[in-house]
């Protein structure tokens, strides 16, 4: 089956806003950095025996959907391949004396390697935690998820304050909101679990 593209409406909204606020013309450079990042993931999937069935574009970036499940160790490598490709690109751009290209790839890679979900660093940590015994793995992944939610909330608040003070830098707020949005399903399921537990206890 050939891979297909699915574009979410949030992708168009986010990038339209980004274009309007891009007074320094950095958007094309970051688009190139994002493409390099995703190509790193795609190359790792193919090299490790996976199969790409779909690529979804949304406000937070791209999600590569695989048609074949890989082992947790290989999934960890796939997660790290994107930031690794970006770091290599950053060194190449630095060698070519293109500071904006080097900076965009470096920033994107360092941000994505943070150990929080749904970023690549968090996905890599989650893959490694799945190697633990089932009970320990489930508890550890739940803790990782809550840390990710709290970090996204803190980034949203910080981004909002920064936007209020500068009046021209919505990046932190936009990223924080996107990260929070990725945890909606987790928070909804947690709330349902709490209600069920409470009802059983009563």
Identify whether residues 4 and 97 lie together within a single domain. yes
> Which residue, among 63, 59, 82, 81, has the nearest Cα to 5 in the 3D structure?
63
> Does residue 64 carry a pLDDT above 90?
no
> Does residue 197 carry a pLDDT above 60?
no
* C-beta of residue 71 within 8 angstroms of C-beta of residue 48: no
Last residue in a domain, options 97, 131, 165: 131
Identify whether residues 102 and 200 lie together within a single domain. no
* C-beta of residue 34 within 8 angstroms of C-beta of residue 22: no
Whole-angstrom distance, CA of residue 38 vs CA of residue 11: 16
Q: Would you place residue 2 in the very low, low, confident or very high pLDDT band (cuts 50, 70, 90)?
A: very low
Please tell me the total count of domains within the chain.
Answer: 2
Helices and strands of the chain, counted as H and E runs:
8, 3
What integer pLDDT is reported at residue 190 of this predicted model? 54
Q: Would you place residue 22 in the very low, low, confident or very high pLDDT band (cuts 50, 70, 90)?
A: low
> Which residue, among 191, 195, 116, 190, has the nearest Cα to 150 in the 3D structure?
116
Q: Which of 8-17, 33-42, 184-193 has the lowest mean pLDDT?
A: 184-193
Identify whether residues 62 and 122 lie together within a single domain. yes
Percent of residues, the chain, with pLDDT higher than 70: 81
Q: SS3 for 66?
A: strand
Mean model confidence pLDDT for the chain: 82
Structural domain containing residue 17: 1-131
């Amino acid at each position: 089956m050939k891979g297909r593209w699915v574009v979410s409406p949030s992708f168009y909204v986010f990038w339209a806003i980004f274009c309007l606020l891009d007074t320094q013309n950095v958007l094309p450079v970051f688009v190139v950095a994002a493409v390099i990042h995703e190509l790193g993931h795609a190359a790792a999937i193919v090299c490790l025996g996976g199969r790409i069935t779909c690529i979804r574009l949304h406000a937070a970036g791209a999600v590569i959907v695989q048609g074949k499940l890989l082992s947790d160790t290989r999934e960890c490598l796939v997660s790290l391949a994107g930031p690794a490709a970006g770091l290599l690109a950053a060194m190449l751009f630095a060698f070519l004396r293109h500071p904006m290209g080097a900076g965009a790839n470096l920033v994107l890679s360092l941000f994505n390697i943070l150990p929080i979900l749904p970023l690549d660093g968090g996905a890599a940590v989650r893959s490694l935690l799945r190697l633990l015994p089932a009970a320990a793995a489930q508890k550890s992944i739940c803790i990782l998820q809550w840390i990710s939610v709290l970090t996204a909330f803190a980034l949203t608040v910080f981004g909002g304050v920064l936007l209020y003070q500068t009046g021209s830098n919505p990046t932190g707020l936009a990223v924080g909101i996107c990260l929070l949005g990725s945890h909606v399903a987790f928070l909804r399921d947690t709330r349902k679990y709490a209600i069920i537990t409470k009802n059983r206890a009563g």
